Amino acid sequence: DAGITQSPRHKVTETGTPVTLRCHQTENHRYMYWYRQDPGHGLRLIHYSYGVKDTDKGEVSDGYSVSRSKTEDFLLTLESATSSQTSVYFCAISESERGAQETQYFGPGTRLLVL
């Protein structure tokens, strides 16, 4: 496995509370991504980063924000969690935009339950 960890691995929280998920990599890869995985929807991109302090929205970014102050860490924040954000969240990294190393490597996932 590529050096990607996610914390926490499981989280139960209440509606309206803020939640921050952390993705940490030891590969020094430039690109980092946050996805959510839901039955019937597959993997959907929330936000991604193409460098320190450089982030952009994915297809389901509403209700989420991200920050990347260091190469190795990419944080996903739910400012005010809602039940619709109950999901499994995956972080991924890739080395380059194009070329032979464009494969994405995934973290183990974080299961979030919003009550």
Partner 1 sequence: AQRVTQPEKLLSVFKGAPVELKCNYSYSGSPELFWYVQYSRQRLQLLLRHISRESIKGFTADLNKGETSFHLKKPFAQEEDSAMYYCALRGNTNAGKSTFGDGTTLTVKP
- Binding residues (CB under 8 A) for partner 1: these are 1, 31, 33, 35, 40-45, 48, 50, 56, 58, 90, 92, 94, 96-98, 100, 102-109
Residues 29, 107: Cα–Cα separation, whole Å: 13
- State the minimum distance, in angstroms, from the CB of residue 55 to partner 1: 11
Q: In the bound complex, what is the minimum distance in angstroms from residue 65's beta carbon to partner 1? A: 18
Closest separation in Å from C-beta 18 to partner 1: 26
Closest CA to 74 of 13, 18, 4: 4
Is the CB of 45 or the CB of 113 nearer to partner 1? 45
* 3-state class (DSSP) for residue 22: strand
Number of H helices, E strands in the chain: 0, 11
